Amino acid sequence: MKVKLSKDYIIPFVGLKLGVHTYKFDITDAFFEIFEYSIIHKGNVEVELQLEKKETMLIGDFAIKGVVETECDRCADPVKTEIEGEYQLIYKFDTEPSDDETLIIVYPEEFEIDVKENILELITVSLPSRTIHKEGECNEEMLSILDEYILVSNEEAAEVADGESKEEPNENDEYVDPRWAALKKLKDDK
Higher-pLDDT residue of 76 and 11 is 11
- Position 186 scores a pLDDT of 76
Residue 184's pLDDT band (cuts 50, 70, 90): confident
**Where residue 55 falls among pLDDT bands split at 50, 70, 90?**
very high
- At 157, the pLDDT band (50, 70, 90 cuts) reads low
Mean pLDDT of 98-107: 88
Determine the pLDDT at residue 4: 44
At a CB cut-off of 8 Å and minimum separation 6, what does 3 contact?
none
Question: What is the three-state SS of 59-119?
Answer: EEEEEEEEEEEEECCCCCCEEEEEEEEEEEEEEEECCCCCCCCCEEEECCCCCEEECHHHH
Global confidence as pTM: 0.72
Helix 178-189 with 154-162: angle, nearest 10 deg: 100
The pLDDT score that the predictor gives to residue 76 is 85
